Amino acid sequence: MSSVLIIAEHQNGKLKKSTLNAITFGREAAEKLQAELCLLVIGHDVSGVADELKSYGASKIVLADAPDLANYTAETWSYAAAEASKMRDAVIVGMSSGTTGKDMMPRVAVKLDAGMGSDVFAFDGEKFLRGMWAGNAVATVDIKTPIKVVTIQSTAFAAAEPVSGESSVEKIDISMPQTRTRFVEMRQTVSERPDPTEAGVVITGGRGVNGAENFKIIERLADIFGGAVGATRAAVDAGWVPNDLQIGQTGKMVAPDLYVAAGLSGSIQHQAGMKNSKVIVAINKDEEAPIFQIADFGIVADLFKVIPEMSDILEKEMS
Ligand SMILES: Cc1cc2nc3c(=O)[nH]c(=O)nc-3n(C[C@H](O)[C@H](O)[C@H](O)COP(=O)(O)OP(=O)(O)OC[C@H]3O[C@@H](n4cnc5c(N)ncnc54)[C@H](O)[C@@H]3O)c2cc1C
């Protein structure tokens, strides 16, 4: 039986939330194609990740676990993904459109001689939809090859809920060819706060925050919720915060329960990364700012007055 193969994204032995959104895409696609849903975990000593996935209704969890795959490189992981796809007779191979998916899936497509759709947000059983021009246009993508490779816009799909029953885990052996790249080291930003893509609450600051030191008020509000800090490209380019906090077309895509946009105008490129958030609160002193057009709640005010007041009240309420 052919399959829809979804590749799990994980880091430091923990499954990334976006994988659950990709599984929802996978379930829908498998149903439409009368195919089975398989989930692929690549890495080393990652049987814990495979175990975490057992309750999501897949026909099989495929585990490519080998020392050569311990650290992500596009070359080794895309090879493993392509080999696993052939073994499972995959007709769609997908991964969430995060940093890893964007990096490796084009290589998977080349290895499988497959056509590819990026950032897809819908599939009708034949064609895919994807956003273009920062979400201002929708393209219908008709991939003609027997195997179709996609990156999945995870914010467009709800996180999959566990179902009854357990998937079996099949460990596969991948004999890795001689590679031309090797992993040297991983330099990670270490933060106590969650990543914006994983958090239920994201507090984002823009150019209006006006300096690295001032981001402390954004951080304080984020910490009250146990949430993440985000930033616009203007704030990142100014060097106030690291670029892994950038939200938007060329940053991260988020869809938290609560998104607070403070001191940012709401450019189309920024909106492309956050407009699917469940509740959007905008704080801006310019009532004409475009962010108010998509906000559920708008506060026309100086953020330096509103955010500390908000934080004081919330701290009292939540203690
Ligand atoms: C190809 C491309 C890709 C891009 N990708 C991204 C991306 O991924 N993410 C992204 O964010 N941008 C991206 N951009 C940049 C984008 O076009 C905007 O330049 C950027 O989003 C603007 O950031 P901002 O809203 O912080 O700044 P501004 O547009 O300058 O807005 C600042 C806002 O702060 C308000 N303000 C100022 N002071 C205060 C105060 N004290 N209290 C309350 N409000 C105040 C102002 O009224 C203003 O509305 C991209 C651009 C291009 C061309």
Question: Could you report the per-residue pLDDT of 183-236, keeping only the tens digit for each?
Answer: 999 888 788 899 999 999 999 999 999 999 999 999 999 999 999 999 999 999
Q: How far is the CA of 189 from the centre of ligand 1 (A)?
A: 23
Q: For residue 26, what pLDDT band results from cuts at 50, 70 and 90?
A: very high
CA 308 – CA 311 distance, rounded (Å): 5
Whether 280 and 296 have beta carbons less than 8 Å apart is answered as: yes
Dihedral sign of CA atoms 215, 221, 226, 231 in order: negative
CATH 3.40.50.1220 fits 201-318, yes or no: yes
> Among 253, 264, 271, which is best to mutate for testing ligand 1, by the most ligand atoms less than 8 A from CB?
264
Q: How far is the CA of 104 from the centre of ligand 1 (A)?
A: 30
The reply to whether ligand 1 has any atom less than 6 angstroms from the CB of 286 is yes
pLDDT digits (tens, 9 = 90+) for 249-299: 999 999 999 999 999 999 999 999 999 999 999 999 999 999 999 999 999
Whether 199 and 209 have beta carbons less than 8 Å apart is answered as: no
Structural class in CATH, domain 3-172 = alpha beta
Contact partners, residue 87, CB within 8 Å, separation at least 6: 62, 172
The reply to whether ligand 1 has any atom less than 6 angstroms from the CB of 264 is yes
**Mean pLDDT, residues 91-117 taken together:** 97
For the chain, domain boundaries: 3-172, 201-318
The reply to whether ligand 1 has any atom less than 6 angstroms from the CB of 153 is no
Provide the 10 A C-beta neighbour count for residue 122.
Answer: 15
> Among 232, 260, 285, which is best to mutate for testing ligand 1, by the most ligand atoms less than 8 A from CB?
232
Contact partners, residue 305, CB within 8 Å, separation at least 6: none
Q: How far is the CA of 218 from the centre of ligand 1 (A)?
A: 16
Q: For residue 181, what pLDDT band results from cuts at 50, 70 and 90?
A: very high
Computed over every residue of the chain, the mean pLDDT equals 96
232 CA: nearest ligand 1 atom: 11
- Reduce the DSSP state of residue 7 to 3 states and report it: strand
**Mean pLDDT, residues 161-168 taken together:** 96
Q: What's the pLDDT at 212? A: 98
Q: What is the CA radius of gyration of the chain?
A: 21
**Mean pLDDT, residues 114-121 taken together:** 97
Phi, psi of 122 (to 5 degrees): -160, 155
The reply to whether ligand 1 has any atom less than 6 angstroms from the CB of 233 is yes
Q: What's the pLDDT at 22? A: 98
Nearest C-alpha neighbor of 276 from the set 290, 294, 250 = 294
Residue 225 is classified by DSSP as: H
Q: What's the pLDDT at 190? A: 81
**Mean pLDDT, residues 120-137 taken together:** 93
Does this chain's domain 3-172 share its CATH topology with 201-318? yes
The reply to whether ligand 1 has any atom less than 6 angstroms from the CB of 214 is no
CA 216 – CA 198 distance, rounded (Å): 21
Q: What's the pLDDT at 64? A: 98
The reply to whether ligand 1 has any atom less than 6 angstroms from the CB of 234 is yes
